Structure 1
Amino acid sequence: MTSFLNILWLGLKEIRSLVSDLVMVIFVVYAFTLAIYVQATGTSSEVNNASIAFVDEDGSSLSKELFNAFYPPRFQVPEAITASEVEDAMDEGRFIFVVIIPPRFESDLRAGRHPDIQVNIDATAMQQAGIGANYIKNIINQRIATFLKRTDVTAREPVNLVTRMLFNPNGESSWFKSVVAIINQITLLTIVLCGAAVIREREHGTLEHLLVMPLTAFEIAIAKVWANGLVILIATGASLFLIVQMALKVPFNGSVTLWFIGVVLYLFFTTALGIFLGTISRSMAQFALLIILVVVVLQLLSGGSTPVESQPRWLQYITFFLPSRHFVSFSQVIIYRGGGIRAVWLNFLMVSVIGLGFFVYSLILFRKSIAVTK
């Protein structure tokens, strides 16, 4: 009972210390609100409002039809430029795409020849350039085929391919990015709060005050875990309902309770990692550098940025032992696909085992650090 009360009061002390730190409070609020909204809506993997220009050296009805085939929202209204302006326009970054239609283009098509259309692409806008090139190719080929057949009726295909997009019918990238953003913020903020709490007490001398009290290293560490974990859990819940579901309209198809159980399991790992980094760091600056090295790896290899299946086979075996990979996996299964415990039990088990093992190791290291301080 005494140990429980010690953990309770130490945890409340941690929460009061966090609340009194205005900068940290603002950082937490920003990370789980505006940062997630901006990350979900500020970037897009789709072609949107791409700038395009045409060099029409043919002047035929077909070339004019191709010019008018591009319109918002995929592309901006095309601009007509001359061949001498192409190089300067591309150098100045005025256009991502410049389509050059050669002379006698329509007449060559009617004669059965195969004329070329040149498409200059500014590949510095890599994502839009790659996807946009396919859009341009398909639009031009479709318009030319329609023009040559002199009808808008397309030939019936031998196979009727029925495509059904499950879990995200409209292909909304914000649905995916918002959940990944929450996962990344949980990882980052939990490590920062726990590690900073350890270093702050060491730098302010409050750790020595705790050591003269009848407290154990276990009680001090557990207090930091539950206090900072509770703050992150509350922030996650608020962000999930206010930002993801209400502002971004992302549906939650699975059990909210099951997902939060998974979050709690994952917090054991991230809080332990924060205590570990805070213990081995000599200063706050060193701790910040370690966070950059560790968090970037956890986020890039978790499967949130790129699918795990796209990683090299040997790397997949290594990332299998990263709790962040399993966190992303069961989050997608529960939130998007509506999966239950039977679909995510292995992910839960791996997060629990790895998190518990690392927590025990961090606790042993923290206790040794306190013993040296004594």
Structure 2
Amino acid sequence: MRVANIFRLGIKELRSLWRDRMMVVLILWAFTASVYVAASGVPETLNKAPIAIVDEDQSSLSQRITSAFYPPYFMPPALISQKQIDSAMDQGTFTFVLDIPPNFQRDLLAGRNPAIQLDVDATRMAQAFSGNGYIQRIVSSEVSRFVGRDQPGAALPIDLVVRSRFNPNLTALWFGAVMQIINHVTLLSIILTGAALIREREHGTVEHLLVMPVTPFEIMAAKVWSMGSVVLVATWLSLIFVVEGAMRVPIQGSIALFLVGTAAHLFATTSMGIFLGTFARSMPQFGLLVILTIVPLQLLSGGSTPRESMPVIVQDVMLAAPTTHFVKLAQGILYRGADLGVVWPQLLAIIAIGAVFYAIALAQFRKSINTMA
């Protein structure tokens, strides 16, 4: 009877979710267009950075430097005067302004070590950080070739060979697509289960459940398996049709093993959604609680920034979060083709954390049910 009750209550949750059109649209958007837009919308390294050049030298070297900036890394350089620098930077027209001083070529050939000024709009952090290095390398390369008259220099005594594993072309799209799915698994599982509980309270159906021969364990288990299954199916379809199909991102490992790890992760995050739902009295309150919960889970889990670069206390605290182990498991399977023999410690950690979260959420849910009764 307990299994039958959990199954029937779960079917009821799925029907309630289907009638909530906005939530259905949110799920479809999160695992389709959102994954594609977020992954493809982030430029890979430097892309079409606006640059202006103040050529006060008007020499062959300055023209050579000017012609070295071209798409896709930079927009075609705009030639401006020195008086236009401040206004152009104030208006945000250019990220970089390169000022080549008068007599630059003559001073260089005379060995006077002339300086070139580079103004950078540091409010555009991504472009400013990478573009600064690009411009320095481009200018240095052009000056060296001009001084050496394109003659190759002396060969280095060593040969450094770089091999990029798991992402040979360093394509940011590969990383962004998979990480978006990982983030949406956590976000949607918390939202769906918490919203399902609040929907019961707002529609007044909690009172109906209290007079039925069902226990709080059965009610909570039904919400966990039903909402978790929706996210699990959406994750599988998104990997097949959006990531591998539309975006052409190769999946190295077993999708089935990844879905097993996802199911274990959903066991923990859906419990978190129930726990938050017991405290919130309305959807706006629940939304605020989700923001306070999901932001540290995503930012400190190691998906965006390596955990080794974080403070030690943050690393230790985040070991109690299921997202930390899920990100490591997912990246190992989908990026590196890891099998169960590699990711089993993360899988066991997720299951253990999920069991603790489920027990805590069930205790709070029972307390909430008893208060309603």
User: Shared fold by TM > 0.5?
Assistant: yes
Matches within 5 A, 1:172-187: 172-187=171-186
The whole-number CA distance in structure 2 between the counterparts of 1:280 and 1:59 is 70
1:58 aligns with 57
Displacement of 1:280 in angstroms is 1.6
Matches within 5 A, 1:31-70: 31-70=30-69
CA contact (8 A) 1:45 1:128 kept: no
Displacement of 1:35 in angstroms is 0.8
The whole-number CA distance in structure 2 between the counterparts of 1:281 and 1:331 is 31
Displacement of 1:172 in angstroms is 0.8
2:202 aligns with 203
Q: Please list the CA deviations of residues 83-111 of structure 1 after superposition, one character each: whole Å capped at 9, or x if unmatched.
A: 11111111122111111111111111111
TM-score norm. by structure 2 comes to 0.98
Structure 1 residues not aligned, in runs of 5+: none
Displacement of 1:44 in angstroms is 2.3
1:115 aligns with 114
Q: Please list the CA deviations of residues 221-251 of structure 1 after superposition, one character each: whole Å capped at 9, or x if unmatched.
A: 1110111011111111111111111111111
The whole-number CA distance in structure 2 between the counterparts of 1:109 and 1:320 is 56
What letter matches 1:313 in structure 2? V
CA contact (8 A) 2:44 2:171 kept: no
What letter matches 1:341 in structure 2? L
1:329 aligns with 328
The whole-number CA distance in structure 2 between the counterparts of 1:104 and 1:372 is 83
The size of the alignment, in residue pairs, is 373
Q: Please list the CA deviations of residues 107-145 of structure 1 after superposition, one character each: whole Å capped at 9, or x if unmatched.
A: 111111211000011111111011001000001101111
What letter matches 2:205 in structure 1? T
Displacement of 1:315 in angstroms is 1.1
Structure 2 residues not aligned, in runs of 5+: none
Matches within 5 A, 1:139-178: 139-178=138-177
Displacement of 1:204 in angstroms is 1.2
1:89 aligns with 88
1:314 aligns with 313
Displacement of 1:263 in angstroms is 0.2
The whole-number CA distance in structure 2 between the counterparts of 1:226 and 1:195 is 13
CA contact (8 A) 1:45 1:127 kept: no
Q: Say which SS state the counterpart of residue 235 (structure 2) adopts.
A: helix
The whole-number CA distance in structure 2 between the counterparts of 1:24 and 1:256 is 26
1:14 to 2:13 alignment: yes
1:212 aligns with 211
1:279 aligns with 278
CA contact (8 A) 1:225 1:272 kept: yes
Q: Say which SS state the counterpart of residue 293 (structure 2) adopts.
A: helix
The whole-number CA distance in structure 1 between the counterparts of 2:166 and 2:151 is 33
CA contact (8 A) 2:254 2:337 kept: yes
Q: Say which SS state the counterpart of residue 120 (structure 1) adopts.
A: strand
CA contact (8 A) 1:303 1:325 kept: yes
